[in-house]
């Protein structure tokens, strides 16, 4: 198993590292608070809340919130989703572009809801965290890839579409899940990937021969 993990890390270093960070942060929260955290404990670990960002100037929460999880099921589902989808997008975009998409997706997950808070007080008392916004960002990235390279990625996107719809429905129905965070991550991932794919490449487009 250790050899398999080393092989995966060598091939997909960013995705495996991202999962590793989430696991380490969860272990810390487990030691401090047990298997599940409440909202107050989540805030101690760096969860997102617009009041803390605005009044206490704790800007770091816009980023750290992506790496905390409120329970074992929460982190298990997210890491499982990130494992498969993340490796696929990492292989498709390559390291530098993948990192850019991850960062923009992570920041969009919290920054767009924060902008809504500044406009109309949206989500003033919400406390959120988790890597699921980034996962939605990767779904958005896959959508951008499918839009530009239909013959290569459209079938994969169609296979994933029902799961995406289900995840969005769950986000809407379950109050403890941040619908705005998921949608914001999705938008961030799609837009950043679409822009990256349409910047004139210095090297040969790796998918050009497959779609022409």
Specify if 102 maps to a domain.
yes
Express as a percent the part of the chain with pLDDT over 70: 86
Backbone angles phi, psi at 36, to 5 degrees: -125, 145
- What's the pLDDT at 169? 64
What is the per-residue pLDDT across 9-67, written as a single tens digit (0 to 9) for each? 889 999 999 999 999 999 999 999 999 999 999 999 999 999 999 999 999 999 999 99
Q: Where residue 212 falls among pLDDT bands split at 50, 70, 90?
A: very low
Q: 128: which 2 tokens? A: 């959120």
Bridge partners of residue 128, in order along the sequence: 48
What is the per-residue pLDDT across 95-110, written as a single tens digit (0 to 9) for each? 999 999 999 999 999 9
- What's the pLDDT at 211? 44
Contact 196, 97 (CB under 8 A): yes
Specify if 208 maps to a domain.
no
Residue 97's domain is classified under what CATH number? Answer: 1.20.1540.10
- What's the pLDDT at 81? 86
Backbone angles phi, psi at 48, to 5 degrees: -90, 130
Specify if 130 maps to a domain.
yes
What is the per-residue pLDDT across 108-130, written as a single tens digit (0 to 9) for each? 999 999 999 999 999 999 999 99
What is the per-residue pLDDT across 134-171, written as a single tens digit (0 to 9) for each? 999 999 999 999 998 988 888 877 787 776 676 666 55
Contact 101, 109 (CB under 8 A): no
Specify if 185 maps to a domain.
yes
CA atoms of 27 and 152, how far apart (whole Å): 39
CA atoms of 156 and 164, how far apart (whole Å): 12
Q: What is the secondary structure of the chain as a DSSP string? A: -HHHHHHHHHHSHHHHHHHHHHHHHHHHHHHHH-SS--HHHHHHHT-B-HHHHHHS--TTHHHHGGG--SSHHHHHHHHHHHHHHHHHHHHHH-HHHHHHHHHHHHHHHHHHHHHHHHHH-TTTT--B--THHHHHHHHHHHHHHHHH-HHHHHHHHHHHHHHHHHHHHHHHH-TTS-HHHHHHHHHHHHHHHHHHHHSPPSS--TTHHHH-
Specify if 204 maps to a domain.
no
Write down how long the chain is.
212
Specify if 73 maps to a domain.
yes
The structural domain count of the chain equals: 1
Specify if 209 maps to a domain.
no
Specify if 211 maps to a domain.
no
Give the domain range for residue 54. Answer: 2-199
How confident is the model over 174-201, as a mean pLDDT? 84
Non-local CB neighbours of 28 within 8 Å, separated by 6+ positions:
45
């Amino acid at each position: 198993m250790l050899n398999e993990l080393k092989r995966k890390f060598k091939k997909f270093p960013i995705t495996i590292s991202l999962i590793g960070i989430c696991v380490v942060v969860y272990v810390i929260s487990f030691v401090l608070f047990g298997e599940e955290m409440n909202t107050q404990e989540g805030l101690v670990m760096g969860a997102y809340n617009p009041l803390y960002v605005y009044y206490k100037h704790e800007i770091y929460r816009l980023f750290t919130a992506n790496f905390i999880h409120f329970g074992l099921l929460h982190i298990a589902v997210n890491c499982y989703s990130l494992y498969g989808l993340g490796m696929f997008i990492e292989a498709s975009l390559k390291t530098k572009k993948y990192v850019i998409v991850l960062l923009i997706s992570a920041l969009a997950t919290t920054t767009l809801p924060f902008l809504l808070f500044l406009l109309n007080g949206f989500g003033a008392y919400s406390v959120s965290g988790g890597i699921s916004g980034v996962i939605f960002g990767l779904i958005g990235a896959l959508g951008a890839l499918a839009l530009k390279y239909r013959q290569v990625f459209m079938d994969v996107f169609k296979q994933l579409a029902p799961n995406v719809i289900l995840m969005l429905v769950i986000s809407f129905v379950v109050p403890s899940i941040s619908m705005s965070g998921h949608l914001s991550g999705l938008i961030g991932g799609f837009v950043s990937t679409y822009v990256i794919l349409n910047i004139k490449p210095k090297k040969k487009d790796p998918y050009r021969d497959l779609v022409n």
